[in-house]
Each structure stands twice: as structure tokens, then as C-alpha cells.
Structure 1
Amino acid sequence: MNRIKTLLATGLFSIALGSGPAVAHPPVSADKAAAGFEQDHVDILAMAGTFKVRFDMQESTPWVAGYTPLERKISGGDEVVRVIEDTGRKIVLQHMLVAEHEGRTMVIKHWRQDWEYEPTRVLVYADRNTWKWVDVPEKFRTGRWSQTVFQVDDSPRYGGWGQFETQGGVRRWRSNWTWRPLARRDAVRNPVYDRYLSINRHQNTPDGWIHWQDNTKMGLKDGKLVPIVQEYLLNTYTRFDGYDVKAADDYWVATKDYWAQVRAEWACVAEAKGGIAVDEKADTGTVISGRLMELADEIQAGRIKTAEAAAEARKLIAANTRKI
């Protein structure tokens, strides 16, 4: 927990919890919130569908002497996004990558995003291997949505809150400042930074949507967190169905009950233990991620029953998480 003390000492932890955007985004009136709710709901649901995705990553400005920004990296793939829950005030979107490898179609359960309207708290990244509940200030709840992003095994990645706004004729959701753990693309490099301080923006386009990230890569220097380099990351989702969409839907039909139980177990841990503390590896995410994913594949292949797989998953989560 030394790093949390460092965050508090430097004031950066308070930035991440909302003091920065609070200036740019004053409280929303109840009337304005009610008027915008339906459009917010429509805009979130519009992120579901079938897409060609382009990931464009660019380190730009170094903030410390002697650091050379990485060359721009562009990658992509085919992604199916399905609505797996919609209660009106909560929407859950599950992403699945579809890839061809040696003549075979492979489905990789990808990230998940949970949206909640007027949340009272958010599960946020607090330090290495640790996610904690943080209250949303009461005066900034009205009309706002939280977005919590989860990793491939449904463990948390980052969370934040913000509002939909229209500027220059473009409507977008903009988060508060949020802390995030390193993505695997960076973690496997053993870099000098060890986390990101980020603003996320989601906005619809005529043929899909974009997820725009403004990431300050942070690292410890002489016991203090300092900015190392700025990164601009643009994920572009363009509507496209010229791939094996059915493979993703078949995977989800076969495994959705298992993943529902996995999500429920992570949620129970977060409640019972005051958040989630689980060790991670640079190349795989959590130390149990590989096995949790394998169990889903075994269900689809008919080698294990859902109940048996879910029981093993619960044991793995319980054994590898700690009280905050």
C-alpha cells in the first residue's frame, strides 16, 4: 500500500477520483438529466453490434529527460459486441474477438464494459493488483454514468464516471481522471512506468463508434509518482460483418451461464473483501485468467459441464483474492 500513500501525498489520487473534471463538469440539474437519459441509453446501446476494429497507439510527449517515445503501433481485428444485460439504468456490453488461425476460427472473450446510471460508487484501480470501491460525490451523481471495464476473465481493469455532453456538434461521454493498470502491450516490456492516469471518451460515428484514450504513463522516481510519457490511443469500431459472426454467438450461447457465475463470484468478492486484490502477470493478466478462459473452452467443447467448471472457477477466485 506504499504507492497509495504516495498518491495521497502527491494529490494525484484525488485527481483520479474526480476533482479535475468537477471543475469542467459542474453538477447537472435533475431536469437536464431526465431530458438526456433516453439519448444516453441509446448511445450506449449503439456500441453493440459487429465491427472491424482499428487500434492506433502513439506515445508522443516525453515528460522526463532521456525517454524516447515508442514508435506508433497500429493493429486491428474483428469484434462482436453483445448486450448481455439492460435494465435501463444498467447496461452490460460483452466484447468478443474473432480471428482466423491456420484455417480455423478462434473466438477470444475480450473486455466487458458495465454502464450504471447515477452510481453511488465505482470500483477503481488503486495500486498494483488492487481495486477499491470509491464513492462518487453526491452532487456529481445526477445525470452521470459510470463505466467499469473488466478484463477477459471478468476481473476488474478500471472504472470511472462522467457525463454525456455535446461540443462542436459532437456528442460524447467523457470520464473523470481514472487510474489504470498497464495493458499487456506495455507490461511485457518491463517499462519504466507502471500505470496510466487517463481520460476516456466514447462517441458514436455515422458508421460505428470510437474509444479515445488520453493516457499519461506514470512511474515511480525517487519514491514519487511522476509522468513519464503521454500516449494517445484511438480505438475505431466500424460496422462490419464480413467474418464468422456466428462463431462468436455460438461461443456465447455455450458459455454465457458459466461466465454469469464467474461475474457473480467476482462481485461477491468485491463486496465481502472491500474490493478486489488479485495478483497479475504481465503476459496473462490475473494469475488465474488462463484457467478461467480454458474452462469456458472446455464447456464449449463438451469436455466439462457448466456447473463443474463454475465450481472450479469459484474456488480459484476465492483462493487467489485477498481482503483489502
Structure 2
Amino acid sequence: MSVDSRAHDADSPKEASESVVSMAFGWPFLDPTTMETQGGTTQGSKVTLAGEPSEAWEKIRQPDLSKQERDRMAVLAMAGSFRVSFQFIESMGFAEDYKPSRPYFSWATEHVRVLADTPTFVSLQHTLVMYFEDEEMGGPMVMKHWRQDWTYEDRELVVYRGHLVWEKMKLAEEEASGGWSQAVFQVDDSPRYEAFGRWEHEAGFSRWTSNDAWRPLPRREFSVRDDYNVLGGTQAITITPTGWVHFQDNCKLQVDSKTNSPRSVACEIGINRYERILEPTIQKPADAYWAKTGDYWKEVRGAWKDIFRTRDRFQLKNQADGKKLYEEHFGYAAEIEATDSYDKENGRTHAQETVNRFLENL
């Protein structure tokens, strides 16, 4: 879900529109009209930002925490209700006739809930919850979004290799010592990518920086780009007193299907800002959605755990029987939500059979 960049809590539509044009930093000699942002068009409702440091931030700053525990507090600080902005701009290209693509900008309101929390593992589920300025649309619109799992001293990662293939990568004990992996999953709980990095804590922020990792083509470019098929790069997640920032330094790669060798097409910078909000209240609609569908999504996660446990390498089909994987899962979850009825055994069978139906035989 993405909404129009003009819908800001502090800016008028004209002021916000003008700021979008000037946002195209790094290309000062191009016609500004060629660098106007692409992205969402629906106008979300106004938000009230939190002005004071959060309780989660204060927990990170507690004295006498072990390094591992302070790291875990930083991961947990990503939970809550946020206005999220997504910004991407290409910084360079490698073709002779290269012209930068239009920058991307959208925003949404999102609730991040804690699915699991132990000293060595934290799972965070993102849920889009949107209210709209358009009275006919109103809201809230609630939709399951992506998930991130954090594991301390993780020695077995499931990494992306291109062409919808993932495989296990093992780290030596000394490589994993003191670090955390971040595994990111699509809206349908299928894997997206996994990276490894370490947290650092300073007086004004806490930051996790990753190694280089490959990812599938992002959804924001699925329908507009066919000149690259892998997004590779490093990330930094920085916790601030009133939210967090996800910075990406990416390279767009065309990976050969036979040799698996990459060719660089362009590079981009991405900045996603998660700013804590007080209004609108979005946790209650998110909680209501998960109260109805959470048991089914738990079975979907369980089906994927079985795949990770039993397969060192696997490939996903782009579609099966004319449908995408997310369509199958979201359709089943919508039926549960509409009827307010869930059969655990049927849900488990559907989750397992659906996941397995989308696996290629390698």
C-alpha cells in the first residue's frame, strides 16, 4: 500500500509537491520534470507524530545491560505504530545511454507487532493500517505486510541466489560471534533475503549494519523494469529516540540464468523512515486482524520452517495454476476474516499444500 506524497501532516499540498521535485538530489542538471517522483496516488489521513523519546528507546539506554541484551532491546524498539516513508533514487548507471529512472516515493501508516521474543530470537510482523482523506474510502484498510526475524549468533542463513532460488549458507563460529542475522519475508511469508551484521550503540543512536546480500526484484519495480533481476547491497538500520531509519545502498544486477554471474545495471540509495505516531490509532485494527487470521499465518510460517529444515536449496515458481502465492494465502485468510471461523487442521493442510505446490523440483 502506498499513498500520495502530497498527504503530509505539516505541509499543504502545494508545499509537499514542490518538496518532492527538489528531492531528486544528485542530478542537479537534469530537467526537474523528468525526475518527479513515482509512487502511490491515494491520499492518507493526517497523522500526529510522537515528539518525546519512546519507552523502547529508554530501554536501550539502560545502564548495565549486556551487549546481547542491548542489541535485543534495539530490535524490539522497531515495534509500534509508525508513519513510514519509502524513498529510492538511482545514484549512477553503467550503460552508455544511461538515464536515471524517476525517483520513488510513497508512504503509509504501519503497525509492527512482536510475534516472538527470546534472548536469542525476535520476530516482528508489519501490518499496514491506512485511513484515507477520501470519505468514500474512509478506512481502516488493514493488510498483512512483511516480516523480519532476528537471530543472535545465527550460523545458518537462507540466502537468495537469483532466479527465485534460495540456499543455505553456513557461517563459522567466529564469524557469527556477537552478531545478529535479519531474515526478511514477503507478505505471504515466503523468504525474501537474509543478511548478517552487528549492532553498535552510541549516545544518540543504535545501528545495525549488514553484509552484502542479494534480494529479488522489489515490488515497486516489478511492473516497470525488466533490465535487472536481482537487487544486491548493504543496509543500515538506525534506532532513534522517536523511531528508526532503514538505509539501503543497492546495486541493480542482471544475473545470468546459466552462469549466475551478475552484470551491474545501476546503483540506488534508499531511505525508509519509521516515525512513531500518536494518531490515528492503528494498533486496534491490526490486533483485530491478527486475532482472526493469526492462527492461519502461524501455520504458513510453520510450513516454511519445514522447508528450511529439510532442504539445503529450493526454487519457487512464479505462479501455480494461474495464481501467485500471495493470492492463495490472502484469499484463504480473507475467508477466515469474513466468516470469523477457523478450522486448525484445514488451515494447516492448506498452508502446507499451498507452499509445496509453489516449489520447483531442483
Q: TM-score range by the shorter chain?
A: 0.7 to 0.9
Q: 1:291 to 1:304 in 2, by over 3 A?
A: farther
One of 198, 201, 211 as aligned partner of 1:176: 211
CA distance in 2, matches of 1:120, 1:188: 36
User: How far has the Cα of 1:38 moved from its partner?
Assistant: 1.3
Q: Name the amino acid aligned to 1:242.
A: E
2:279 equivalent to 1:248? no
Q: Counterpart of 1:161?
A: 196
| Residues 1:149 and 1:122: Cα distance change in structure 2 (over 3 Å) | same
> What corresponds to 2:353 in structure 1?
315
Does the 8 Å contact 2:317/2:360 carry over to 1? no
- Confirm whether residue 138 of structure 1 aligns to residue 173 of structure 2: yes
Q: Deviations over 1:238-261 (max 9, x none)?
A: 001322331111001111111111
TM-score (norm 1): 0.83
Of the structure 1 ranges 231-240 and 211-220, higher mean CA displacement relative to structure 2 is found in 211-220
Report the AA paired with residue 317 of structure 2: D
Report deviation, 1:174: 0.6
User: Cα deviations across residues 211-239 of structure 1 (Å, max 9, x unaligned)?
Assistant: 11111011148974211111111110000
Give the Å deviation of 1:293.
1.2
In 2: Cα distance, 1:276 partner to 1:95 partner: 26
SS at 1:240 equivalent: strand
Tell whether 2:227 aligns with 1:192: yes
Structure ranking higher in helix proportion: 1
Flag the 1:275–1:252 CA change in 2: closer, same or farther, 3 A. farther
Equivalent residue number for residue 24 of structure 1: none
Normalising to structure 2: TM-score of the pair? 0.75
Deviation at 1:323, TM superposition (A): 4.7
The aligned counterpart of 1:206 is 241
Change (3 A) 1:303 1:71: same
Equivalent residue, structure 2, for 1:259 = 297
- Where structure 2 has 5 or more consecutive residues not aligned to the other structure, the ranges are 1-64
How many Å apart are 1:266 and its aligned residue? Answer: 0.9
Kindly indicate whether residue 329 of structure 2 is the aligned counterpart of residue 292 of structure 1: yes
Give 1:305's match in structure 2, choosing from 337, 342, 345: 342
Cα distance in 2 between the residues matched to 1:167 and 1:194: 37
Deviations 1:12-48, CA, capped at 9 Å, x for gaps:
xxxxxxxxxxxxxxxxxxxxxx941111011000000
Q: Which amino acid letter does the alignment assign opposite residue 171 of structure 2?
A: V
**Larger deviation: 123-132 or 59-68?**
59-68
SS in 2 for 1:114: strand
**Mapped partners of 2:70, 2:305: distance in 1:** 29
2:308 aligned residue: 270
Match of 1:72 in 2: 103
Deviates more, 1:118-127 or 1:165-174: 165-174
Distance in 1, Cα, partners of 2:314 & 2:125? 21
Question: Structure 1 pair 219/208, CA: closer, same or farther in 2 (3 Å)?
Answer: same
Residues 97-106 or 199-208, more deviating: 97-106
How many angstroms apart in 2 are the aligned matches of 1:90 and 1:323?
Answer: 31
Which structure has more relative contact order (CA 8 Å, sep 6+)? It is 1
Q: Percent identity?
A: 35
2:67 corresponds to 1:36 = yes
**Contact 1:47-1:208 at 8 Å conserved across structures:** yes
The superposition leaves residues 80-133 of structure 1 with CA deviations (integer Å, 9 ceiling, x where unpaired) of: 000110111000000000123622321110010000000111111112111111
Tell me what 1:51 maps to.
82
Gaps of 5+ in 1: 1-33
Deviating above 3 A after TM superposition, structure 1's stretches of 4 or more consecutive aligned residues are 166-170, 220-224
Distance 1:128 1:241 in 2: 42
Q: What amino acid maps onto 2:267 in structure 1?
A: Q
The DSSP-based 3-state class of the residue aligned with 1:317 is helix
Aligned-pair RMSD on alpha carbons? 2.2
- Aligned-partner SS, 1:111: strand
Distance in 2 (alpha carbons) for counterparts of 1:313 and 1:96: 20
Amino acid of the structure 1 residue aligned with 2:316: V
Corresponding position: 1:119 with 2:159? no
Instruction: Label 1:323 to 1:121 Cα distance change in 2 as closer, same or farther (>3 A).
Output: farther
- Higher-Rg structure is 2
Q: Aligned letter for 1:272?
A: T
**CA displacement, residues 188-231 of structure 1 (integer Å, 9 cap, x when unaligned):** 12321111111011111121001111110111489742111111
Cα distance, 1:249–1:276 mapped onto 2, change above 3 Å: farther
More strand by share: 1
